[in-house]
Chain A
Amino acid sequence: MGFLAPWFIGAGVLAAGLPIWLHLLRKYRTTPLPFSSLMFFDKRPQSSVKHRRLRYLLLMSLRIALLLLLAFAFARPFLSRASGTFGGRRLLVIAVDRSFSMRTRDRLARAKEQAIGALSRLGAGERGEVLALDSQVEVLAQPTDDASQLRAAIQSIAPTDRRSSYAELARNLRAIAEATRMPLEVHFATDAQKTSMPPAFGDLQLGPATELVIDSVASGTEPNWGVESVSAPAHIYDPKRSRVQATIAGYGTNAAHRTVSLVVDGRVVGTRDVDVPVNGRAAVEFPSLESPYGFHRGEVRIDSADHLKQDDSFPFSIERTDPRRVLFLYPSGSTRAPFYYRTALESAENAGFALDVVPAEDASGAVLSKFAFVVIADARPLNADLEQRLRAWVNAGGAVLVTLGPESAALAHVPVSGEPVQGTRYSPPEGERFRTVDDADQQHPALKDTNRFAGVEFYQSVRIDATGDHVLARLSDGSPLIAEKQMGAGRVIVFTSGLDNVANDLPLHASFVPFVVETARYLAGDQQRVTNVAVGAALDLHRGAHGGAADVIDVTGHHLLTLAEATTARVYTIPAEGFYEIHDAAGKVWLVAAHADRAESDLTPASPDTLALWRETGRAPVSAGPGAQSVESSGKLEFWRWLLLLAVIALLAESLVASRYLATEKELQHEPDRAAQFISAGR
């Protein structure tokens, strides 16, 4: 028997003391009463008092019983369906860690051996279940009493490149216990990595009748070197200015000299020697990345000589391409805006944009499909045909940045996006002098690193009605400064001030370059196509407005999507480390490199105390006897309702006994011509 809320027991014991105090200590502490003479009293009444106490003991017992029954009921006692009590029913759960770290030596093989050995715990009439754990839990064998089926499921387990999550295992075990309402005996074969533990220990909480046996296959701390991270540009526009940086980490290692190689398409293009400190990290940089045009499979390798080879290389994807062209339309005669914008764009490393600066009046014949996006600076009324083509191009997936200068006040609406223009707002020197940015959405990719435009003074802006737009930033007077409008598959960003260092001093501030570069990358769609991800990441196939088929092809040329998935799947989850060629629904193609989570490279085992604490979370709070803690039931039989029924009966009995006593008191107190109490006689 156990209790789900055992603290009520303590409260009940304390409460039971109350009637004892009332009856034995308080009730019989007689108050001295002066009386004229005791010549008509004698010692004989003592027996009468004792008799009365005996009668009160019955009342007191009933009251104590009532309180204890209530306390026990609130403590929610249950009878566990333990093996000895409920016919030996339990569920044997065998879980095997198949995470990336299990590739070390023969850890997975030994884990499977131990798991198969645990099958001997399967008794007659009992069922077993096989789980495989990495970042998720996969049920390889549903509950069955067929040992051979369980054994086959264990033998089929293969290592993955995912990280193991003990919290995920605990969550699944709780779900199994709740669903089956049976006690669980869990045998978990794992290398017990410290990095597999969740940040919050509470996430490891097991069900109330879960016995966890951890079969560790780790043999102390295993030294391991690995490539922890690689920083490489996704697009190479100028090979001489493209750098690859890598971090080499050692876990439980001594100081060592390592050779690091940069491999592109299987060919070593660079080698560096590095000294990795004791249990530390070292950085390596390859200053140039020569490669022909197109997608390439890059890799950073080390000669580690350890027992986990898979983390000795780190894949990454690169694309050699020409800079993307940007059409910059400006009012003829005003060259300040293109000057500042070009300077900012070219100052960014590997930005990959080439600016075509054209007076707005001369752009009527521009071929928009050549450009990544269009900038309309200090917007004035555009040629109707050009504006029409721009709208159509944006709806098809293009992007436009519109800036509004003093000349824009005459517009009825913002070009392309169409927001109504409400007028121009100047901040005169004799008045408020300037406005600042009051609110900015720092989470938006276009405003990354802009630091809320700190210190920027705005002297002139155009007020627009941004209803329906996503306002990314507002000025201190509440008017929109940056608004984004989604139009079909494309988007337009409206900047309600200028880029010419006249309407504001933004070009003179550090936030100008990030603003120009990040809006350019955002409008060019850089954030939409991720090229380097961890295993398990979900890739967007851009199913939104496009009806085309998507496809995912691995390095061996296998198509990883079925025909149905190719036409319906919105995302694709990367299953293993390697390279994937993605064909999204919009017809774009790019190469993705997936790497294993390098937290798995740290093979340091969790402390035995932590694992012991984890095991303890599966034991019931109160157990009935020795040995019961390991097999207590989650299919518990609660009987608090019966205790409440008994409490009601005790209450009725108490009322009857008490009413008899009270009736006697009432009779005494209502003598026909007497007050009941003595009054002090000390007059």
Chain B
Amino acid sequence: MTRLVLADDSVLVREGIARLLVDAGLEVVAQVGDADALLRAVREHHPDLAIVDIRMPPTHTTEGLRAAEEIRAEHGSAIGILVLSHHVEPSFAVRLLADGAGGVGYLLKDRVNDVDDFVDAVRRIARGGSVIDPSVVSVLVGRRAKVPLDDLTEREREVLSLMAEGRSNQAIADRLSMATKTVEAHIANIFSKLELLPAPDDHRRVLAVLAHLRGQVEVGP
């Protein structure tokens, strides 16, 4: 069973998410209201995953993001991290992904509304996958001129977006109702058109695509 720690300074939200997850068959081992309590709870329980609100006391800015980075520094990729926020910043996404180890996610808090998707994301992160909110990707893909995506077909752009959200080839195939082989062919085309090096795993692929879309040099593993 997937064990997780939940950090959010709003008790209402925390309780609600916890009940949703418990209903979905996950185990919530601790609920905390700030970053320090989160770090203690993680040390104590060694959960599979921590779900963290980005804004917590005392300054209500990005305590959650910093706590996430500390957890990564302390425990490596053994503990997955899902950062929730009312508002997404592509740079925060890249910051989270940047250690190259996988098992991280960055989602709008509203995504809890779509229970199945949310629980699926939680499970994928717990298994070491990466999940990036579609709105991060759409911000980046939305501005065509910056990174030339004009060479990509409409289909390839859809595949690119799903890839940047952290979907596996299988998931992309399911979502777009096409064969896995077709997805792989699209991805090969995308990488060659964007002049990106093929990434060794799904996680690095997310980072490479996001970094590319942000107009940055690929961040090395």
A and B form one complex: no
Residues of B within 8 A of A (CB): none
